[in-house]
Amino acid sequence: VFYRQSDSDPAALAGSEIAVLGYGNLGRSVALNLRDSGLPVRVGNIDDAYRQRATDDGFAVLDLADAVDGADVVYLLLPDEVLPAVFGEQLAPRFGVGTAVCFASGYVLAYELVKPAADLDVLLLAPRMLGEEVRRAYVDGSGFLSYVSVEQDSTGRGRERMLGLASAIGSLQRGAIGLSAEQEATLDLFIEQSVGPYLGVAFQTAFRLGVEAGLPPEALVCELYMSGEMSRTISTMATAGFFESVRWHGLVAMYGGFLGTMGMDGEAMERHFREVLEQIRSGGFARKLQEEEAQGYPVLELIDAVTATDNPLTAAEQRVRAALGDPDGGP
Ligand code: NDP
């Protein structure tokens, strides 16, 4: 199901008090967008630098549970790993009957890590856009895609409230796609655990072999991602089409890419992707993540070691930036 601006009722949230919980990457953009759409917004955040930022941006900022009191719509923009404890212990006792509780990711609902009471509306509004871009795309009017669903409709107004919120954060300028929380979580985890790792390993392997073959590391990181050619190629898939974009690369690239594709062990990749999907759908991945959390995330040390900045790839990037600057003006 696709939703556009014309599907939303501009009056859907009239008179509604909105609480945005979490003023992080996405929370800040969402709160600013909702306020600029004319809605009364208060922010809930723990006492830290983000809280100060919300105050500086002119919001009334309360502790998480206090922000829920009297709110008609509560948009939860806390990290997925934090939500289960905060939801059960602090927020659940404070929701009024008929409050619309909106999640930005389906994860905690899909794995029943939070169990909203039956007298709430439970909504999903998951932007497919980086937090800061959610603000930029609102300001320039381009909008951004989101996945949306009504997971529980206790008031009979769940759909109109969900679309009202999607419109007010600026998503419907571009459009939204209906997807259940379970589908959203599966999709998100599947692509980040299948295509993501393949790309990561492919880039690192090509870099290592290229250096071994005597190619300059600086040119390799440019070829792989720093020139922007690769990300333009992906943008072209979105505008021209996945297969059509192949034709834009010239005969040598097309022929070489075709030969390379034929030479790959596609069956091994498919077997691996199927295992990844099975782990996600059976709940195996979510259980592993919970065990990891119970032990204080020991894997983070390993990730820190793997992504340590003293490696040849990062050094090559730094040399390119030092010599030529950053094409986008830096992070
Ligand atoms: P961030 O980590 O940027 O911010 C989350 C907020 O939660 C911050 O205000 C943070 O404050 C606060 N927080 C962190 N730990 C705790 C805690 N223990 N108790 C209470 N508050 C805490 O998260 P994101 O904005 O990136 O993500 C929020 C949600 O949005 C997630 O569900 C995510 O899946 C979803 N989402 C995010 C997107 C993105 O681009 N970032 C895109 C689409 C969906 P502090 O860190 O100062 O403690």
Mean pLDDT of the chain: 95
- In whole angstroms, give the CA distance from residue 301 to residue 310: 15
Question: Which of these three, 179, 211, 230, is where a domain ends?
Answer: 179
* pLDDT score, position 272: 97
* pLDDT score, position 96: 96
Question: Which of these three, 179, 198, 218, is where a domain ends?
Answer: 179
Amino acid identity, residue 98?
G
Q: Same structural domain for residues 271 and 201?
A: yes
> In this structure, is residue 57 part of a structural domain?
yes
Question: Which of these three, 179, 211, 244, is where a domain ends?
Answer: 179
Domain tally for the chain? 2
* pLDDT score, position 247: 86
CA of 319 to the centre of ligand 1 (A): 33
Q: Residue 209 corresponds to which tokens in the numbers above? A: 């072999």
**pLDDT over threshold 80, residue 327:** no
CA of 161 to the centre of ligand 1 (A): 23
CA of 322 to the centre of ligand 1 (A): 32
Dihedral of the CA atoms 242, 243, 244, 247 (nearest 10)? 120
Distances in whole angstroms, Cα of residue 269 to Cα of each of 194, 201, 234, 272: 9, 13, 21, 5
CA atoms within 13 A on the CB side of 245: 14
Q: Same structural domain for residues 121 and 51?
A: yes
Structure ipTM = 0.91
Atom of ligand 1 nearest to the CA of 49: 47
* pLDDT score, position 215: 98
* pLDDT score, position 97: 97
Over residues 186-190, the mean pLDDT reads: 98
Segments forming the whole domain that contains residue 237: 189-324
Q: Same structural domain for residues 165 and 204?
A: no
Q: Same structural domain for residues 173 and 217?
A: no
Q: Residue 294 corresponds to which tokens in the numbers above? A: 């119970």
What percentage of the chain's residues is helix, strand, coil (to nearest 5)?
55, 10, 30
* pLDDT score, position 246: 87
Residue 80, ligand 1, Cβ within 6 A: yes
Q: Residue 40 corresponds to which tokens in the numbers above? A: 């009364």
How do residues 211-268 score in pLDDT, each as one tens digit? 999 999 999 999 999 999 999 999 999 999 999 988 888 899 999 999 999 999 999 9
Q: Same structural domain for residues 124 and 62?
A: yes
**pLDDT over threshold 70, residue 307:** yes
Q: Same structural domain for residues 8 and 69?
A: yes
> In this structure, is residue 331 part of a structural domain?
no
> In this structure, is residue 27 part of a structural domain?
yes
Q: Same structural domain for residues 30 and 81?
A: yes
